[in-house]
């Protein structure tokens, strides 16, 4: 017999009463369930966290590389500039 894969997990979350009440008002305003509100909130938080991790990783990678331009590239850039006066 094939078992259906469970795609959701039930959990209990303890929230401060003012946060819970604000969440209830927001869910009602959007016309969504409390579960949907929490799902969206956690997804949003995780998305922001992933952006931060990506930025940190890029900073680490580029921090390990030299920040100076290769002298040959600098010379080519100079040559590509017009000789006119600005």
The predicted structure's pLDDT at residue 10: 92
The predicted structure's pLDDT at residue 39: 96
What secondary structure letter does DSSP report for 54? H
Task: Give the separation between CA 35 and CA 26, rounded to whole angstroms.
Answer: 12
Task: Give the separation between CA 21 and CA 19, rounded to whole angstroms.
Answer: 5
The predicted structure's pLDDT at residue 66: 61
Tens digits of pLDDT across the chain (86 residues): 556 678 889 999 999 999 999 999 999 999 999 999 999 999 999 998 898 888 888 888 877 666 566 778 878 877 777 666 65
CA distances from 11 to 8, 20, 35, 39, 69 (A): 10, 15, 10, 12, 53
pTM over 0.75: no
């Amino acid at each position: 017999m094939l078992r259906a894969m469970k795609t959701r997990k039930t959990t209990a979350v303890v929230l401060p009463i003012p946060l819970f009440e604000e969440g209830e008002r927001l869910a009602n305003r959007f016309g969504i369930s409390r579960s949907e509100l929490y799902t969206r909130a956690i997804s949003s938080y995780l998305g922001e966290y992933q952006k931060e991790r990506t930025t940190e990783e890029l900073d680490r990678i580029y921090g390990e590389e030299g920040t100076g331009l290769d002298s040959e590239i600098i010379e080519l850039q100079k040559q590509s500039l017009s000789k006119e006066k600005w």
